[in-house]
């Protein structure tokens, strides 16, 4: 990917170039312009909406087991102490031990020239696939493994959420946009516990994991399929200033080229007369 595109500088529309007397358009080395993030206002808020809903569903699975802890402990034949240690302690530890490094690695990848919408979808798929598989676990250690892997989605999504939103909105609007994402995390945890407490006693402690994971994967897939990658750094002041400088230089080049073509055409017309 060219450096200009990575930093928000993209090929100019052919409509920007003036038509010279012979009907052609002059080509210049700096035939570039900038269009911010490359998205309309509606597209930006559509993206924020999808990211917010996906984040809510990702965080919904954090405490899904808590309302039905006794039911799961009884199925695995745990004593009260084993229930507290193995279900209440070890599972959360595994979630954190995997999720924290995942956050660091995915945050590092988010700064590389990799489409972040694709990376977000893969992160959700890697983490929420095991969450979905929780519905079919038969042993405690299977549950331990899938809960540990679920940490990839929850830990890895945050760097991508803020990276994407940072390239959609200028600095003065980012705090407001970030508030949607932070509200989504808390609302998601609450939604998950309400869902588990409502569904679990009737249909079993496994079903809430299925109900949380499937929408998260679908929403991430919709985002990957329908949202275009915002241009990196396009909302940063230095990049915008540089882009404006390139635009002015480009326009000056077009004018000089048009003047040159015009004078050459006039001389040829005079010589022909």
Q: What is the pLDDT of residue 141?
A: 96
User: Tokens 């200028």 map to which residue?
Assistant: 170
88-104: average pLDDT: 94
Q: What is the pLDDT of residue 39?
A: 80
Q: What are phi and psi of 32, to 5 degrees?
A: -135, 155
Give residues with Cβ within 8 angstroms of 59, minimum separation 6: 154, 184, 185, 186, 188, 189, 192
148-155: average pLDDT: 95
What is the token pair recorded at 220? 């991430």
Query: Does 1 score more than 50 pLDDT?
Result: no
Q: What is the pLDDT of residue 184?
A: 94
> What mean pLDDT, rounded, does the chain reach?
82
Instruction: Say how many C-beta atoms besides its own lie within 10 A of residue 79's C-beta.
Output: 10
Distance CA 195, CA 59 (A): 13
What is the token pair recorded at 194? 């309400």
Higher pLDDT, 13 or 81: 81
Q: What is the pLDDT of residue 236?
A: 64
pLDDT digits (tens, 9 = 90+) for 208-256: 999 999 999 999 999 999 999 988 877 666 455 555 555 566 666 556 6
Q: What is the pLDDT of residue 179?
A: 93
Query: Does 29 score more than 80 pLDDT?
Result: no
Higher pLDDT, 268 or 48: 48
Q: What is the pLDDT of residue 231?
A: 87
Q: What is the pLDDT of residue 19?
A: 43
Element at 260 (helix H, strand E): helix 237-272
Helix (H, G, I), strand (E, B) or coil at 62: coil
Tally of helices (H runs) and strands (E runs) in the chain: 10, 2
Q: Quick one: what percent of the chain has pLDDT higher than 90? A: 65
Distance CA 44, CA 233 (A): 15
Query: Does 131 score more than 60 pLDDT?
Result: yes
Q: What is the pLDDT of residue 153?
A: 95
Query: Does 191 score more than 70 pLDDT?
Result: yes
The predicted model scores a pTM of 0.74
Q: What is the pLDDT of residue 4?
A: 44
């Amino acid at each position: 990917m060219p450096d200009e595109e990575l930093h928000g500088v993209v090929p100019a529309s052919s409509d920007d170039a003036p038509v010279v007397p012979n009907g052609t358009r002059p080509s210049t080395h700096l035939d570039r312009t900038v269009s911010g993030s490359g998205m309309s206002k509606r597209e930006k808020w559509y993206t924020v909406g999808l990211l917010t809903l996906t984040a809510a569903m990702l965080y919904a699975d954090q405490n899904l087991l808590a309302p039905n802890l006794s039911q799961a402990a009884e199925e695995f034949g745990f004593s009260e102490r084993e229930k507290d240690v193995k279900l209440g302690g070890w599972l959360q530890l595994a979630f954190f031990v995997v999720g924290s490094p995942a956050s660091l690695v995915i945050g590092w990848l988010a700064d590389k020239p990799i489409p972040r919408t694709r990376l977000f979808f893969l992160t959700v798929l890697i983490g929420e696939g095991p969450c979905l598989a929780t519905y079919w676990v038969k042993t405690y250690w299977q549950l331990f493994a899938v809960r540990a892997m679920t940490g990839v989605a929850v830990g890895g999504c945050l760097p991508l959420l803020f990276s994407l939103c940072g390239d959609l909105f200028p600095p003065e609007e980012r705090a407001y946009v970030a508030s949607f994402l932070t509200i989504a995390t808390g609302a998601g945890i609450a939604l998950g516990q309400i869902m588990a407490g409502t569904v679990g006693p009737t249909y079993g402690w496994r079903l809430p994991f299925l109900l949380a994971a499937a929408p998260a994967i679908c929403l991430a897939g919709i985002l990957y399929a329908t949202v275009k990658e915002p241009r990196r750094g396009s909302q940063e002041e230095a990049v915008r200033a540089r882009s404006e400088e390139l635009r002015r230089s480009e326009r000056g080049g077009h004018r000089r080229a048009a003047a040159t073509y015009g004078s050459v055409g006039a001389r040829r017309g005079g010589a022909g007369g």
